[in-house]
Amino acid sequence: MIWLTWRQFRAQTWFAAAWTGLLCVVLVFFGFQIADLYNGSGAADCVTDCETVIGNFRQQIASGVIPGAVSLATAVMYLTPALIGAFWGAPLVARELEAGTHLLAWNQSVTRTRWLTTKLAFIGGTAVAVMAALSLAGQWFARYIDSVQMDRIQPVVFGSRGIVPVAYAIFALAVGVAAGVLIRRTVPAMAVTLTVYTTAIVVMPVWIRAHLLPLTTTVRPLDTENLYGLMLNTTTADIRVLGNEDVPGAWIVGNETVTPAGLRFAGPANLQYCDGGASGRCVDWLATLNLRQSLTYQPAEHFWPLQIVESGIFVGLAAVLAGICLYQVRRRLA
């Protein structure tokens, strides 16, 4: 059965190897360029005035082809699982049902359960290998950027680092197979796979990920000399003040300005001082109110725990979908 699976899947396997190899070469090529810039900037052995040195390195990687390479690396980590689900998962059973070859394949000495589990194991193992290789290459490529930007826990970057891309691929593959089993048509199953996968990776960071681990809340005096934003409605005297979000490496989920009593501050503004918006007189007036800044965030050290929890969720969902597929193949499909 393994040999038969290889024979049926060898074209996809060779394409995956070529795709992975090409992308890894590109990432390694740009990774060496970034490493040269990092070492040449002096950031590697910086002792004094490190902020200036790191700032110069940030300016260097913000120009030329490096930003495009970073965007490419991030896009690849999200796109590859979608391709795996749509082009490997969706046709796996749906193609057999459309062509009618399942009647022959499922009436041999190999049971339906073994037939499907062997294919899932082989293709799933290939998907894991592809994403693991890309993830390792991507992390090596971005290691110096991550060390200075300190943003790998941010929503978009988070999904392209660590073990989460591997879990995305497993989930996308399971979605594709389940869609093919239930819909029994390859092209509609591919469309459903892309829709479900896209929805899942959008919903997770927007509504779920921040709450997978307990959030950290810090309340501190509002630094009026370093405000992030100040918005004033001169008609209603409503005012919104945002302090600077200077928690290194953290993912800020909430940033509110509160009164000494702990209530959200929304004014009213004293228009005698604030009629000009974010003028110096308005900032001086705010400083007299003893306001506080309440920050809610996931700290940088939660990166790997969040990776493990989120990966577990997607792998668990994939296991449930695989169970549904096995049940359908064994009990429901003729």
Tokens of 218: 């810090």
Q: How far apart are CA 269 and CA 263, in angstroms?
A: 16
List, for residues 13-72, the tens digit of each pLDDT value.
Answer: 888 889 899 999 999 999 899 888 888 787 777 777 778 888 888 888 888 888 999 999
Q: Is the dihedral of CA 82, 88, 93, 97 positive or negative?
A: positive
CA angle at 216 for the pair 211 and 164, rounded to the nearest 5°: 45
Whether residue 202 contacts residue 98, with contact meaning beta carbons closer than 8 Å, is answered with: no
- List 231's β-bridge partners, or say none: 240
- How high is the mean pLDDT of the chain? 88
Q: Which of 90, 95, 112, 119 is nearest to 180 (CA)?
A: 90
Burial 271-281 (b: 16+ CB within 10 A, else e): eebbeeeeeee
DSSP track, 244-292:
----TT-EEEEEEEE-TTSPBP-----HHHHTTSS-HHHHHHHHTTT-E
Residue written as token pair 């070859």: 101
From first CA to last CA, the distance across the chain in angstroms is 21
Whether residue 298 contacts residue 248, with contact meaning beta carbons closer than 8 Å, is answered with: no
List, for residues 153-183, the tens digit of each pLDDT value.
Answer: 999 999 999 999 999 999 999 999 999 999 9
Q: What's the confidence (pLDDT) of residue 293?
A: 94
Q: What's the confidence (pLDDT) of residue 186?
A: 94
Q: How far apart are CA 302 and CA 152, in angstroms?
A: 11
Block mean pLDDT (10 aa), the chain, length 334: 59 84 92 87 76 84 87 94 95 85 68 84 93 94 90 95 97 97 94 97 96 95 88 83 90 93 87 72 88 95 98 98 91 62
Q: What's the confidence (pLDDT) of residue 106?
A: 66
Distance of CA 267 to the CA centre of its chain: 37
Tokens of 171: 């989930």
Q: How far apart are CA 206 and CA 214, in angstroms?
A: 16
Q: How far apart are CA 210 and CA 155, in angstroms?
A: 9
Q: What's the confidence (pLDDT) of residue 8?
A: 63
Q: How far apart are CA 176 and CA 174, in angstroms?
A: 5
Q: CB-side exposure of 315: number of CA atoms within 13 Å?
A: 13
Residue written as token pair 């040449």: 40
| pTM for the structure as a whole | 0.92
Q: What's the confidence (pLDDT) of residue 111?
A: 80
